[in-house]
């Protein structure tokens, strides 16, 4: 009798203990949907309200099922319910695998579920067909050009650097001369020629080379006549024709004076002619007179502005 009572007590205790073990279940409100429809999926834990860890939900191996929403855990008396809203946009049959739930560091598995996703049937005989719409362009915004902003800034900085370096660069003698008005440059060069005292140091030929170059350069810049590349006869002929067909009103005496100066200089440069000192001084005076007489005269209105 004692043994019978002992066995009864042990069996009753084991039965009550087994009833207290956690139970894990998973279910869905439906396992058959059409593309884009939703499934309410939930995991229920009974006989445990503490020490439960819900890991991240494991989806199908093809990742065709998506989680729309993960709802907070509902807590009831010795029961936990975790709900998910799922969907899929690819037709086919997919398996939601067993979910691993940790309860007091012990792993429990739910059942797996098979989800069927069907396409939406379209009756093309009743569905009206519409033409394809043209591509609509969105208006440009600042964000569209923001990526080019740094390139623009870099380009502007590069241009500024180039301009700065060019402004710092020393100008060549030719560039400096080109910036001086022709008349002022001619007088400046005559003064510099006098300071060299070439003919006084028996460098007569070099003196006449530079003297005629001053006069020819002035004529070319002031009258736009190719004086540097022309012979004396060609230059005089060109100036005569130019004077006849234009309003320069160059005096014949000026042209004759220029002709005499250039021909005497040609004799010095090419025929080893050696002029006297007074002849050299006269040639220097003639050069200044030709330059002065070829200087454009200001009109009446221009004179009034200058005054």
pLDDT tens track for 245-271: 776 678 889 999 999 999 999 999 998
The pLDDT score that the predictor gives to residue 42 is: 93
- What value does the mean pLDDT of the chain take? 84
DSSP, res 91:
-
Any idea which residue has 């043994």 for tokens? Answer: 3
Cα(70)–Cα(43) distance, rounded to whole angstroms? 12
> H or E segment at 43?
strand 38-46
Point out the least confidently predicted range of 46-50, 174-178, 193-197. Answer: 174-178
Residue 274 vs residue 123, higher pLDDT: 274
pLDDT tens track for 164-185: 887 776 666 666 667 789 999 9
Cα(17)–Cα(256) distance, rounded to whole angstroms? 140
Residue 306 confidence (pLDDT) above 50: no
Cα(250)–Cα(239) distance, rounded to whole angstroms? 9
Cα(59)–Cα(66) distance, rounded to whole angstroms? 8
Query: What fold does the segment set 22-118 form as a domain?
Result: Jelly Rolls (2.60.120)
Residue 298 confidence (pLDDT) above 60: no
The pLDDT score that the predictor gives to residue 34 is: 93
The pLDDT score that the predictor gives to residue 15 is: 47
**Nearest-5° Cα angle at 112, 106 to 113:** 150
- 216-223's contacts with Cβ under 8 Å and 24+ in sequence apart are 217/182, 217/185, 217/186, 217/189, 218/182, 218/183, 218/185, 218/186, 218/291, 218/294, 219/294, 221/182, 221/185, 222/182, 222/183, 222/294, 222/295, 222/296, 223/248, 223/294
Any idea which residue has 């086919």 for tokens? Answer: 92
The candidate with the shortest Cα–Cα distance to 105, out of 52, 48, 50, 26, is 52
Residue 146 confidence (pLDDT) above 70: yes
**Global confidence as pTM:** 0.45
The candidate with the shortest Cα–Cα distance to 296, out of 249, 243, 254, 235, is 249
Residue 38 confidence (pLDDT) above 90: yes
The pLDDT score that the predictor gives to residue 7 is: 53
Domain boundaries defined on the chain: 22-118, 173-299
Residue 3 vs residue 23, higher pLDDT: 23
How does residue 12 score in pLDDT terms, banded at 50, 70 and 90? Answer: low
Phi, psi torsion values for 64, nearest 5 degrees: -90, -20
The pLDDT score that the predictor gives to residue 247 is: 65
* C-beta of residue 80 within 8 angstroms of C-beta of residue 48: yes
Cα(306)–Cα(300) distance, rounded to whole angstroms? 10
The pLDDT score that the predictor gives to residue 17 is: 44
């Amino acid at each position: 009798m004692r043994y019978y009572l002992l066995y009864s007590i042990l069996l009753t205790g084991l039965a009550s203990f087994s009833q207290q073990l956690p139970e894990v279940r998973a279910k869905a409100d439906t396992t058959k949907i059409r593309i884009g429809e939703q499934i309410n999926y939930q995991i229920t834990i009974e006989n445990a309200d503490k020490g439960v860890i819900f890991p991240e939900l494991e989806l199908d191996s093809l990742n065709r099922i998506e989680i729309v929403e993960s709802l907070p855990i509902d807590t009831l008396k010795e029961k936990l319910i975790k709900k998910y809203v799922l969907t899929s946009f690819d037709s086919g049959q997919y398996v939601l695998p067993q979910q691993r739930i940790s309860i007091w560091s012990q792993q429990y598995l739910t059942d797996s579920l098979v989800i069927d996703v069907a396409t939406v049937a379209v009756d093309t005989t009743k569905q009206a067909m519409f033409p394809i719409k043209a591509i609509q362009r969105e208006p440009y915004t600042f964000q569209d050009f923001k990526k080019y902003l740094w390139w623009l800034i870099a380009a502007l900085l590069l241009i500024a650097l180039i301009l700065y370096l060019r402004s710092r660069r020393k100008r060549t003698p030719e560039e400096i001369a080109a910036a001086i008005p022709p008349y002022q440059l001619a007088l400046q060069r005559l003064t510099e020629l006098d300071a060299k005292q070439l003919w006084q140091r028996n460098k007569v030929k070099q003196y006449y080379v530079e003297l005629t170059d001053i006069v020819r350069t002035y004529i070319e810049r002031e009258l736009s006549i190719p004086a540097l590349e022309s012979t004396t006869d060609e230059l005089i002929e060109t100036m005569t024709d130019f004077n006849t067909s234009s309003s320069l009103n160059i005096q014949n005496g000026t042209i004759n004076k220029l002709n005499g100066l250039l021909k005497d200089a040609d004799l010095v440069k090419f025929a080893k002619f050696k002029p006297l000192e007074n002849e050299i001084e006269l040639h220097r005076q003639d050069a200044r007179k030709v330059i002065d007489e070829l200087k454009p005269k200001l009109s009446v209105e221009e004179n009034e502005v200058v005054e």
